[in-house]
Amino acid sequence: MYVCGLTVQGPPHIGHVRFALAFDVLRRWLQHSGHDVTYVRNVTDVDDKILARSAAAGEPWWAWAYENERAATRAYEVLGTLPPTYEPRATGHVPEMVELIGQLIDRGHAYAVDGDVYFDVRSFPGYGELSGQRLGELQPAADTETDERKRDPRDFALWKAHKPGEPETASWPTPWGRGRPGWHLECSAMAEKYLGPEFDLHGGGLDLRFPHHENERAQSQAAGHGFARYWLHNAWVTMGGEKMSKSLGNTLLVDEVVQRVRPVELRYYLVAPHYRSTIEFTEAALEEAGVAYRRLESFVRRAAERVGADAGKQVLAEAFTAAMDDDLATPAAVAAVHEAVTAGNTALAADDHEGVAAALGTVRAMLGVLGLDPLDPHWAGGGERLVDVTDGLVQLALEQRTAARARKDYASADAIRNQLGALGVQVEDTPQGTRWELTT
C-alpha cells in the first residue's frame, strides 16, 4: 500500500488525519485477513507553501517542515495508527526523482525549458481516466506561475527551477539546473523505490484524485511502470458544508481536540462513518460518538472484571466480516459491534458467564480490527488512569448509598443515585449487586 501522507506546511487538524485512520483500518483488516502488508506513507517536506509559510514565520524552511512533521507524527500516534513500514521524506529521494525525469524525457513524455521540466499530457493517451475527465475539458495546470513556456497549458511541472529569493538549501543540482521537485513527481519516485514498479493499493484523500493522483499515474505509466492496481480515496471532514482547511479558518487541530476529548473517542468518531462518506463536523456529533464508544468500553471492562480480559475466543461476527469485505463498510461493522455488546450486557445481567465470555471475545476481536479495543495497551496510560479514578469515585458514592439504605435513610440514598444520574452514571440494583454504567 502506498498512501499519500501530509504536506507538512502546518500542524494537522482532524480533517488532515482522517486519511491516516481510514487506511490504518484497511491495513489492519488486510493483516487480519492473512495478508503481509508493506505500508508506505510519505512526508512531503518541501513545496511552495512550506517555503512561503516558513519565510513569513522567519524560520528556515527545513526547521518549519520538521516541526510540523513531528506534530503530524504526534497526531498519528495519539490516535492509535500503526506506524508505517516505511515513511520516506521527499527531500531524501531527489536522485530517484531525477532518474525518473530522465526516463520521461527519453521516452518523449517530458521536456525541459530554462531549468523547468514539464510533463506533456498530450503524449499520454490515458490522461484523465483515473478521475473520469476528458483532456479537452481540463483547465490549465496551476502548479506554475506562467504557462508561456509550456507546450500545452495543462502540462504540469516535474521539476521547478530555483528562483531568486528562494533559499539555496531548497534546491538540488540536476542536468537541467538547480531546482526542486514538483509535488506529483515525489510520490511516483518514492512508491517505485519501496514497492517496485507495480503494487497493489494506492490511497489518499478525495482532493488528491485530481490532479495529484492523476498526474502520478500518468508519469509513472508513461515511464513504463504498471504503478497502482487499485485506488481508494477517503472523503473530507467538513464544517458548514465546506472542506475543513486552514484557508477557511475552520480548523480543529488534533493537538487541541485531544485535550478535551479522549483520543480513542476521536478515533471512533472518525472511523465509524464509511471512509467515502463526508463527515460534517459538529461538537454534538463528536459528543454522541463519545457516548457510543463509552457504551462499548463499559461492557468490555465490566465483562473483563467478571470473566477475565482474555476469556472467550476472539472470533469475528459474520456481519462484521461481511461489512469489512464490502469496501470497508464500517457503519455496518460498528453496528455489529453494538449488537454483540447488547447480547453481552444481557448475559451480564443474567450472570451467564459463558455468554459474557463469548460476547467479550467477539467484541474485542472486532474492536481490535478497528483499532478501538479499550484493553489495548495503547489506550492505557492517562486514559486508563482516568477510568480507574472514575470507577473509584463512583464506587465510593455507591458505598455511601449502600450505607444510607442500611440505616433506612432512603432520601439520602435516592439523592446519591440522582446526583450520579445527573452526571451520566446509571445505577442498577441487581441480584448480583449494584452495577453502574455511563449513559447519555
Domains of the chain listed by start with CATH number: 283-379 (1.20.120.640), 385-438 (no CATH)
Residue 156 is given by DSSP the state: E
* Residue 248: per-residue pLDDT: 62
Mean pLDDT of the chain: 93
pLDDT digits (tens, 9 = 90+) for 163-185: 999 999 999 999 999 999 999 99
194 vs 245: which has the higher pLDDT? 194
* % pLDDT > 70, the chain: 94
**What is the rounded CA–CA span in Å between residue 165 and residue 124?**
35
Q: What is the mean pLDDT of residues 305-332?
A: 96
Instruction: Give the distance from CA 403 to its chain's centroid.
Output: 49
Residue 383: pLDDT above 60?
no
* Residue 154: per-residue pLDDT: 94
* % pLDDT > 90, the chain: 80
Q: For the whole model, what pTM was predicted?
A: 0.87
Q: What is the mean pLDDT of residues 261-279?
A: 98
* Residue 247: per-residue pLDDT: 67
pLDDT digits (tens, 9 = 90+) for 292-304: 999 999 999 999 9
Largest CA distance in the chain: 92
* Residue 263: per-residue pLDDT: 98
Q: How many residues can be counted in the chain?
A: 440
285 vs 440: which has the higher pLDDT? 285
**What is the rounded CA–CA span in Å between residue 227 and residue 47?**
24
**What is the rounded CA–CA span in Å between residue 219 and residue 67?**
31
**What is the rounded CA–CA span in Å between residue 268 and residue 334?**
9
Hey, how many other C-beta atoms are within 10 angstroms of the C-beta on 242?
Answer: 12
* Residue 388: per-residue pLDDT: 59
* Residue 327: per-residue pLDDT: 97
Q: Are 276 and 316 in contact (CB under 8 A)?
A: no
* Residue 145: per-residue pLDDT: 64
Among the listed residues 39, 89, 35, 41, the one whose alpha carbon sits nearest the alpha carbon of residue 62: 89
Q: How confident is the model at residue 33 (pLDDT cuts 50, 70, 90)?
A: very high
Q: Are 186 and 44 in contact (CB under 8 A)?
A: yes
Dump strand ranges (E) for 114-208: 116-119, 156-161, 179-181, 198-205
Q: How confident is the model at residue 421 (pLDDT cuts 50, 70, 90)?
A: confident
196 to 41, 213, 226, 346: CA distances (angstroms): 15, 17, 9, 52
* Residue 272: per-residue pLDDT: 98
Q: What is the mean pLDDT of residues 60-77?
A: 98
Hey, how many other C-beta atoms are within 10 angstroms of the C-beta on 407?
Answer: 9
Hey, how many other C-beta atoms are within 10 angstroms of the C-beta on 304?
Answer: 17
* Residue 244: per-residue pLDDT: 84
Q: What is the mean pLDDT of residues 308-331?
A: 96
Q: Which residue's C-alpha cell is 463527515?
A: 279
pLDDT digits (tens, 9 = 90+) for 115-131: 999 999 999 999 999 99
Q: How confident is the model at residue 427 (pLDDT cuts 50, 70, 90)?
A: confident
**What is the rounded CA–CA span in Å between residue 78 and residue 399?**
36
**What is the rounded CA–CA span in Å between residue 363 and residue 377?**
16
* Residue 241: per-residue pLDDT: 84
Hey, how many other C-beta atoms are within 10 angstroms of the C-beta on 430?
Answer: 11
For the record, the C-alpha cell of 67 comes out as: 516541526
* Residue 139: per-residue pLDDT: 83
**What is the rounded CA–CA span in Å between residue 192 and residue 292?**
42
Residue 323: pLDDT above 90?
yes
